[in-house]
Structure 1
Amino acid sequence: MEETLAFSFESIISQIIEHGYGILDNFLTEEEITELNESFLAHYQAQEFRQAGISKEHEVVKNIRGDEILWLEKEQANAIEIKFLERLEAFMSYVNYTCFLGLRSYEIHYASYPVGTFYKRHLDKFRNDSGRKLSFICYLNQNWQADNGGELVLYLPDKEEIVLPIGGRLVVFESDKIEHEVLPANRERRSLTGWLRNID
């Protein structure tokens, strides 16, 4: 398993170096996707999610961003969430070993996009905060079809990359360089989303 993960990590790192972003399918197994969805639903039914904001002050502007989020902390995480976080930590360590980015921490949340919601084009960087180096999204959507919508659009210098939010797929890109948006979907769209940082 460790050798497989290392090979997968190397693949996505090579893509990031060449294009500024990388896509890795099957970062999660079907069983892990199912278990994380069960955790997602338990949190949601417990009304732990809140409307996401667009600034450090958590300003809610629904005509810009419509998702609902729940921050995930390892100290309060359950078994499957800890397993995911440890895999993320392994990826972060591998990036540091191979790319010398000096990543020291991460922030991560569950994200739910209800039907018809979206997140307009933006950059994952707060003013006066350059700590976010790599953005990542890991999708939890089961049996997602092309006509369900909800695509991630990456705005690259020479093209627009359209990414379907297929369950188990990991997308990683440079936080301060690649603008992106989330298009509306006709079914709820779920993910674990966050940032790898070079500050605590």
Structure 2
Amino acid sequence: MKIPPQQALLQLMLQLQNNGLALSQAYAARQSALELEKVLTVERLSSMAGVQTSLAAIDALEALVAEHRTLVQQWLVEATRQLVPVLEEHPADQRQAISDGLMTALQAQMEHQHLSMQARAEWIDAARTIFGLARRARELDPQVKHGVFADEADADEAERQGERMDAAAATEQRLQEALAARMRARLEQMQPR
């Protein structure tokens, strides 16, 4: 028995939504495993080995971000590929409205991804700047005993970069919360009444 086009569309949307959620959860879990909260500790910034360890975590984060961007793009392409034939089964007078709604949702997903990746890139850039300042202090004086940075100007710059990181992290958190709220709302809309 063939299911009605509207039901097929709802089932596919639910499946795609769940796949997108799983993709986001996997990204969050892998990002959490990098222990980013440790990359800027005084212990790490106080030695070349610590700086190198933190830089390795940032390199891994950059690779993860690039991989996630690719996976999300593939998910969007696959979602579009699967939606087209289901959409074609709807009456012609309904297709445009449904298509417009789907395009709006996909565009919102793409915009979310762009802003989230932009915030993460800002965070990474600021972290690299701080590591560069800490490394410079070690290169100038391997036995630095007076602090993590070579001088007050470097310490002030590190503080500005830390504020940049905080702002980027807040933006990313806000975007994740908005995405989760949109996903919950969509899932509620898709539930049979």
Shorter-normalised TM range: under 0.3
TM-score, normalisation: structure 2: 0.26
By percentage of residues, which structure has more helix?
A: 2
Q: Which has the larger radius of gyration?
A: 2
